């Protein structure tokens, strides 16, 4: 059993918002007593062929927070996503709150700062974020006591956030019938992911787990909530006490067949800057996203 400060009896309200373009689920997590809330993994809309961004998805979340009289305290990123762009700064501008991510974001910034040949104006120290979480860090949403678990493997900076009886697992686990996330991005490691998944599975059996993504396996409807017990028993990649060797072999074989996500190029450039676009390049204030040739 983990030594993390689990508080299964804390009551939390959770509202989900599904983005069908990136199959991401954004959550608003609320303390019913104080009406303080956090947004987990928000999504910016992008028409990539046109180079056009917009915020319909984020506006829906802002509207939900405003109309329910909630106070936004945190904008949590479970990791530097490679499949969608974060809308955290846009939401922060409208509603306040602190943007938080795992402190190992500095490793991701180092790697991708090079990949995208970002200039010296791109700091690799995580300073674009308001809070860099370390393993076991505690924080509050209103009166709710929360903590972050460092769960690398998919990426170095991955964190699972545990709030009451709910854990937001990012891309450590998918629904039991969908397995686990890839571990082949720079800094990813299947064996490390195996350990991180077991950290999550050491939480209480009844803990509710909320996925960052779901792809509707085998044509079923989108699902995003399960439990530690269900993952332990039924997860097709790690359930039933699957050994590390078997998992790593499966994960590496599978990753070798996967294409890069459609939005990896714009996503990483924006998300490594906490959801902000790169600095404007000329006097008209025009911003550009780069495509590194033959690197990814």
Closest C-alpha to 127, from 267, 266, 273: 273
Which of residues 81 and 208 has its CB atom nearest to Fe ion in the complex?
Answer: 81
Q: Are strands 36-40 and 45-47 parallel, antiparallel or unpaired?
A: unpaired
Report the nearest approach of Fe ion to the CB of residue 25 (Å). 12
Q: Which is nearer to Fe ion, 31 or 83 (CB)?
A: 83
Q: Return the number of the residue (23 or 34) whose C-beta is nearest Fe ion.
A: 23
Minimum CB–partner distance for residue 81 and Fe ion (Å): 5
Taking the C-alpha atoms of residue 133 and residue 105, their distance in angstroms, rounded to an integer, is 10
- Identify residues 161-220 at the interface with Fe ion (CB under 5 A): 171
- Closest distance of CB 173 from Fe ion, Å: 12
Residues in CB range of 266: below 8 A, 6 or more apart: 46, 48, 85, 289
Which lies closer to Fe ion via its Cβ, residue 126 or residue 170? Answer: 170
Q: How many helices (H) and strands (E) does the chain have?
A: 7, 14
Beta carbon nearer to Fe ion, 126 or 153: 153
- Span 142-171, contacts to Fe ion by CB under 5 A: 171
CA distances from 162 to 95, 106, 235 (A): 23, 23, 20
Nearest distance, CB of residue 213 and Fe ion, angstroms? 7
Least distance (Å) between residue 204 CB and Fe ion: 25
Decide the pairing of beta strands 98-102 and 131-133: parallel
**In the complex, which residue's CB is closest to Fe ion?**
171
Nearest to Fe ion of 73, 171 (CB atom) = 171
Question: Kind and range of the H or E element at 27?
Answer: strand 24-30
Chain centroid to Cα 154, Å, comes to 11
C-beta closer to Fe ion: residue 81 or 161: 81
Read off φ and ψ for residue 274, nearest 5 degrees.
65, 20
In the region spanning residues 46 to 85, those forming contacts with Fe ion, defined by CB under 5 A, are 81
CB of 65 to Fe ion, least distance (A): 24
CB of 106 to Fe ion, least distance (A): 18
In this structure, the strands spanning 45-47 and 52-54 are antiparallel
Query: Least Å distance between CB 262 and Fe ion?
Result: 13
The rounded distance, in Å, linking the Cα atoms of 272 and 265 is 11
Q: What are the start-end ranges of the H helices in 68-181?
A: 88-95, 105-115
- Report yes or no: 97 and 113 within 8 Å, Cβ to Cβ: no
Restricting to residues 78-137, name those near Fe ion by CB under 5 A: 81
Q: Quick one: 30 or 109, whose CB is closer to Fe ion?
A: 109
Question: In the beta sheet, which residues pair with residue 76?
Answer: 40, 100
Interacting residues of 267 by C-beta distance below 8 A, sequence separation 6+: 81, 82, 83, 84, 85, 261
- Give residues in contact with Fe ion (CB under 5 A): 81, 171
């Amino acid at each position: 059993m983990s030594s993390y400060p689990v508080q299964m009896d804390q009551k939390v309200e959770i509202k989900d918002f599904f983005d069908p373009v990136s199959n991401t689920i954004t959550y608003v997590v609320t303390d019913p007593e104080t009406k303080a809330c956090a947004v987990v993994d928000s999504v910016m809309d992008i028409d990539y062929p046109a180079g056009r961004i917009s915020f319909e998805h984020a506006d829906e979340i802002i509207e939900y927070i405003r109309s329910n009289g909630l106070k936004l305290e945190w904008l949590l990123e479970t990791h530097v996503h490679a499949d969608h762009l974060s809308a955290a700064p846009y939401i922060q501008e409208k509603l306040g709150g602190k943007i938080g991510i795992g402190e190992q974001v500095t490793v991701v910034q180092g790697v991708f700062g090079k990949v995208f040949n970002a200039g010296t104006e791109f700091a690799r120290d995580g300073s674009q974020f308001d809070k860099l979480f370390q393993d076991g860090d505690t924080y509050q949403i209103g009166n709710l006591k929360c903590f972050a678990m460092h769960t690398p493997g998919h990426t170095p900076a991955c964190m699972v956030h545990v709030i009451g009886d709910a854990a937001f697992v990012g891309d450590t686990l998918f629904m039991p019938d969908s397995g686990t996330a890839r571990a082949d991005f720079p800094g990813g490691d299947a064996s490390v992911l195996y350990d991180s998944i077991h950290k999550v599975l050491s939480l209480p059996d009844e803990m509710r787990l909320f996925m960052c993504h779901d792809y509707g396996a085998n044509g079923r409807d989108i699902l995003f909530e399960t439990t530690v017990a269900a993952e332990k028993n039924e997860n097709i990649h790690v359930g039933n006490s699957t050994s590390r060797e078997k998992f790593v072999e499966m994960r590496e074989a599978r990753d070798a067949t996967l294409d890069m996500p459609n939005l990896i190029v714009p996503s990483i450039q924006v998300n490594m800057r906490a959801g902000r676009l790169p600095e404007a390049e000329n006097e008209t204030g025009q911003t550009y996203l780069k495509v590194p040739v033959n690197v990814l």
